[in-house]
Structure 1
Amino acid sequence: MRTLSRRGAIGLGAGAVAAAGLAGCGGSADPDGSKPSSGSGKNRSGSAEPSPSPTAPARPLGDGSTSFTGKQPHQPAAPRPLGPGQEPPQFVVFSWDGAGEVGNGLFPRFLDLAKEHGAAMTFFLSGIYLLPESKKRLYDPPGNRRGASDIGYLTDAHIKDTLKYLRRAWLEGHEIGTHFNGHFCGEGSGSVGNWTSRQWRSEIDQAKAFVKEWRTNSGWTDLEALPFDYDKELVGGRTPCLLGQDNLLPTARALGWRYDASSPGGRQTWPTKKQGIWDLPLQQIPFPGRGFEVLSMDYNMLANQSVNSTKAPSHNYPRWRQQAAQAYIQGFKRAFETNRAPFFVGNHFEQWNGGIYMDAVEEAFKHIAREKEKGADVRLVSFRQFVDWLDVQKPEVLAKLRTLEVGQRPAGGWQAFLGAQAPASRRPSAA
């Protein structure tokens, strides 16, 4: 377990608290001892949800674990470049590390929430969440013993639930990225922070294989295939504990990835590319009542509120829940009312400290969705959808947007700020 600083950018995910008895990144039982919800596939009103449908008949791929089912449903219209003087949209991306359903009903809870508000999210799947523990020796983690993992393997029942909700997520328009596999965040050569580019390639190849071959590895032939080609679907990820990006990026670029969400301690400004890949970091956002900012992730709220304890005294929960919700809301408002930088939020399907972080992120999500529903150009999208938009923008426009600092409004308003665009010959190479 790695020691955390309590201030500023805390680049750790849930797996860093394994010593507290958590599997981390969505792979734990409810640590607060509450009774898990059933995750039955019903919405909160109790009515059954119709199964989402693909756009074409399924064509099995490989061993039939995945399939081609046509164009992904529920995607936005093709993006267009901003016109002269046009105000940029406010993009917001909610993302989930691990993305395993462990009987607490959190995966379907947030699928329901997204569906209610016409939003898309990114689910960073840990590959071993589709690998039965009985077959764990199929995993050969770089720098670690075969079958090792710093997060827990899921039960067979929870793997089946995870498959069900991954299928639903993709068919409802969400993105399936990767959180890699074993979540090794310790010291030494086995840590993801010390992996070479070749080791990252091994980890990625294995993560993809566990998704593409879950049917062979499990022997389950009575479950529906995942409705996507993972070789084409996978265009980005987030590393465990936000470690190891520098050596990951050459491999990501060679694989044709379009973005990486692993940078620690980003700021609320418009993004750039790093080694040819869009660099989309978690961000420093206001932390109400404190003299420092906090990283826009549930685990980092926890680390600053309860010094890494996932089951602190419950009398703190209402205050901490409100503080976390307001941190997200203030981060959104700061961007929305000033430079319109995209706002990124990271989460885990965990019930830490009584589930307050899940409640906080839902409150913030609803606040943001209300702005959209009132007519503001707020777009709740996946990372993939956001880079689709970035990739059609004029480089000189993105360069101008990057000149706006955190909380800085465009001088003279958007019409004046983006009204005159630089000629093509002056396009900066960074974009």
Structure 2
Amino acid sequence: MAATQRITAGVALAAVCATVLCSCSSGRNGSEEGPRRPAAGPLPGSAVRLIGDGSTAYTGSQPHLPRPQRLKPGQRPPQFVVLSWDGAAEDSQKLFSHFRKVAKANNVTMTYFLSGLYMLPEEKRELYRPPEHSPGRSDIGFNDQKGVKDTAEQLRMAWLEGNEIGTHFNGHFCGNEGGVGQWSVEEWKDEVVQAKAFVKSWKTNSGLKEEPPLPFDYDKELIGARTPCLEGQENFVKAARDLGFRYDSSGTGKQVWPKKDGVWDLSMQLVPFPGHSDEQLSRDYSFMVSQSGNRTQGDPDKFEEWGAQFRDGLLQGFQRAYDGNRAPLIIGNHFESWNGGAYMRAVQEVIERVCTQPEVRCVSFHQLVNWLDAQDPQVLEKLRTLDVGQAPAEGWEAFLGRSPAPSPNSAPKVSAAKR
């Protein structure tokens, strides 16, 4: 490495380490889990290893990621709530940075599904070779240099605060003409490779070579995804198994305990839709379409009502799980100000109401799958016998009273591999 490059790398790594020290002083909850990884989880600056062009770096174990513990005999499961964001990026609305602050204030970790193209500036669009489409094509556009820089900053701090960086892939192609629902297993694998490549080379592609690296190895960090428009799950999951992913959140289902078939199926869920006899998916987009159709900004006189409907639907879904089967509640959102920001305000209120309650853990998918993998499979199988909102008739102590198998010595290992 040339002298100038060494100096630049040193400055970047010092910035990473300074950020780590600041973030670690904030503290996180987790008293119901095993000991968290050391607050000084990332390695000293001299031991940080740059990866590739320095867009990413290995800095040690992720701070604020607790070691999971098995349930004790007869112990009621915690109520997990997973808050996740599709196509996470920082733009002029600054919703990424806002919800990072909301998370820290309420002892929450989240999953940010990053679209790879948000790390690729418009002038480099031809680098993207989407399956079934011509080079440089994207249905969500690309970013500019400032957007790449701002998004990288948020990703860096989010990870250091214990949040997860997943993937929402790249071009967000939905529908029947070359949409992700028609992609083959091999095309999905190619899309994942490209999504990772844009994250691992954002400094070169954007020209922001003086910026600090992302403080993680994305090949190891990337363990799960959500497909665009929740399409193409069948072939993506086949690809995900080969790529070493640990979960997928692209399906739709009920509020019951999840199953694992090579990867955990952590699908979006149906929750109550206040004022309606049917239910709706637990995400802002689905409520919006039901309320204002294809218009992202409908009748302003309805904004407050629509936001309250979304908030109350999520709260009712939470409460029936909390009082019932304790199945994890999966919530999916977008950093968008649809219908006057009604859904963003609703999500924040849900976080503030539920995430501070006893036995509630608002966590990332990464933390949830760590906990699931640490449990006795027979206990999880028994939990899956409970229907939506169904608490054990005999009480939790009797229902889960049998002694489970011995707890593993450590958290499960993460395999290599991915809006």
TM-score by length of 1: 0.83
In the TM superposition, what is the alpha-carbon distance from 1:261 to its structure 2 partner?
A: 0.5
Q: Secondary structure of 2:198's match?
A: helix
- The answer to whether 1:336 aligns with 2:360 is no
Which residue is 2:286 aligned to?
Answer: 300
In the TM superposition, what is the alpha-carbon distance from 1:250 to its structure 2 partner?
A: 1.9
In the TM superposition, what is the alpha-carbon distance from 1:50 to its structure 2 partner?
A: 8.7
1:120-143 deviation line (CA, Å, top 9, x unaligned) = 100000001000110000000000
Structure 2, unpaired ranges of 5+ = 1-19, 25-40, 407-419
RMSD (Å) for aligned C-alpha atoms: 1.7
| Structure 1 stretches of at least 4 aligned residues deviating more than 6 Å after TM superposition | none
Which residue is 1:172 aligned to?
Answer: 161
Identical-residue share of aligned pairs (%)? 54
Does the C-alpha gap of structure 1 residues 51 and 222 become closer, same or farther in structure 2, counting only changes over 3 Å?
Answer: farther
Which residue is 1:291 aligned to?
Answer: 277
Q: Equivalences for 1:381-400 in 2 at 5 Å?
A: 381-400=363-382
Between the aligned partners of 1:318 and 1:180, the Cα distance in structure 2 is 33
Between the aligned partners of 2:266 and 2:322, the Cα distance in structure 1 is 18
In the TM superposition, what is the alpha-carbon distance from 1:181 to its structure 2 partner?
A: 0.3
- Within the candidate set 351, 361, 365, 1:365 is matched to 351
Structure 1, unpaired ranges of 5+ = 1-48, 425-431
- Within the candidate set 89, 107, 124, 2:78 is matched to 89
1:108-167 deviation line (CA, Å, top 9, x unaligned) = 110001111111100000001000110000000000010000102122211111011000
Tell me which amino acid in the other structure corresponds to 2:63. P
Q: Secondary structure of 2:333's match?
A: strand
Between the aligned partners of 2:327 and 2:293, the Cα distance in structure 1 is 30
Q: Secondary structure of 1:184's match?
A: coil
In the TM superposition, what is the alpha-carbon distance from 1:352 to its structure 2 partner?
A: 0.5
Between the aligned partners of 1:313 and 1:154, the Cα distance in structure 2 is 30
Tell me which amino acid in the other structure corresponds to 1:322. A
Tell me which amino acid in the other structure corresponds to 1:101. E
| CA contact 1:284–1:296 (8 Å) conserved in 2 | yes
- The answer to whether 1:98 aligns with 2:81 is no
Q: Equivalences for 1:17-166 in 2 at 5 Å?
A: 51-52=22-23, 55-56=42-43, 57=45, 58-76=48-66, 78-166=67-155
Q: Secondary structure of 1:360's match?
A: helix
Which residue is 2:176 aligned to?
Answer: 187
| CA contact 2:376–2:404 (8 Å) conserved in 1 | no
1:84-123 deviation line (CA, Å, top 9, x unaligned) = 1110010110000000111101001100011111111000
- Within the candidate set 295, 312, 324, 1:309 is matched to 295
1:267-309 deviation line (CA, Å, top 9, x unaligned) = 00000013x1100001000011111100000001101111121
Which residue is 1:321 aligned to?
Answer: 307
Tell me which amino acid in the other structure corresponds to 2:106. H
In the TM superposition, what is the alpha-carbon distance from 1:52 to its structure 2 partner?
A: 3.0
Which residue is 2:260 aligned to?
Answer: 273
Which residue is 2:394 aligned to?
Answer: 412
Between the aligned partners of 2:152 and 2:374, the Cα distance in structure 1 is 33
Between the aligned partners of 1:148 and 1:421, the Cα distance in structure 2 is 55
In the TM superposition, what is the alpha-carbon distance from 1:71 to its structure 2 partner?
A: 1.0
Q: Secondary structure of 1:339's match?
A: coil
In the TM superposition, what is the alpha-carbon distance from 1:51 to its structure 2 partner?
A: 4.8
Between the aligned partners of 1:267 and 1:174, the Cα distance in structure 2 is 25
In the TM superposition, what is the alpha-carbon distance from 1:186 to its structure 2 partner?
A: 2.0
TM-score by length of 2: 0.86
Which residue is 1:258 aligned to?
Answer: 246
Which residue is 2:11 aligned to?
Answer: none
In the TM superposition, what is the alpha-carbon distance from 1:254 to its structure 2 partner?
A: 1.1
